[in-house]
Amino acid sequence: MTKKVFFKCWLLLALGLTVAMFNSCGRDKGKTNPENPNVPEGGVLINGVVWATCNVDAPGTFAAKPEDPGMFYQWNRKKAWAATGDVTGWDGAMPEGDSWEKANDPSPAGWRIPTRVEIDALLDTKKVSNEWTTENGVNGGRFTDKTSGNSLFLPAAGCRNNRGGALNLAGTDGYYWRSTQKDSYNADYLGFGSDGAYRDDGDRSYGVSVRCVAD
């Protein structure tokens, strides 16, 4: 191999590694954003809250890209369910607890399930705009800080219902858990679709997406 060919191969490898680093979603929790030292790598500051740029995938990991659905979780449970296709062995029992316990949080280290206050900050239309959009062929909601211009994309992955875990509303609606409950049957979530974003509560035995915030 000539020196010229070797240099070209080395350069392509270096560029590939650089792209992989910039496409990572919060994997290097010890690193910070050079533009804002208070924001960990893979995070974005929206109305005072640092959000991960990707959904939670398997427990302790992020999905590879912002438009990837990651995996679904029932409220206050750490077991992950696929966000596409069919599932077997669905647990339809009602999850217990009055808040999402730390031991059951599937978020990677340094991150956690958002609180009601943090979700409400994302839905504050005076400071954050939201729109239904498509990113790399995936429908979802984009939330943009009106002051900084920072934005966050949440894929509309739908959910799994409490009757056997059937997949519902994928591509048309997005649901994201909050750490708080309404009562022993329902828990709070962020919801959105083509007609806008909102806060609501629903059966905690449903399988729903998780997008975490910096701890």
121: enclosing H helix or E strand: helix 116-122
Residue 24 confidence class, pLDDT cut points 50, 70, 90:
low
Contacts of 128 (CB under 8 A, 6+ apart): 46, 47, 121, 122, 143, 144, 145, 146
d(CA 23, CA 103): 29
Q: What global pTM score does this model have? A: 0.86
State the pLDDT at residue 9: 39
pLDDT at 20: 37
63 is written with which tokens? 């999905």
Q: What mean pLDDT value characterizes the chain? A: 88
% the chain with pLDDT above 70: 84
pLDDT > 80? residue 17: no
Distance CA 143, CA 39 (A): 17
15: pLDDT strictly greater than 50:
no
Residue range of the domain that includes 199: 3-214
Confidence of residue 12 (pLDDT cuts 50, 70, 90): very low
**pLDDT at residue 210 in the model:** 98
pLDDT interval class at 201 (50, 70, 90):
very high
CA distance readout (Å), 98 to 54, 87, 207: 26, 27, 18
DSSP string over 137-168: TEEEEEEEETTT--EEEEE---EE-TTTT-EE
Number of domains in the chain: 1
Length of the chain: 215
Residue 76 burial class via C-beta count within 10 angstroms: exposed 0-12, middle 13-18, buried 19 and up: buried
What confidence tens digit (pLDDT) does each residue in 143-195 have? 999 999 999 999 999 999 999 999 999 999 999 999 999 999 999 999 999 99
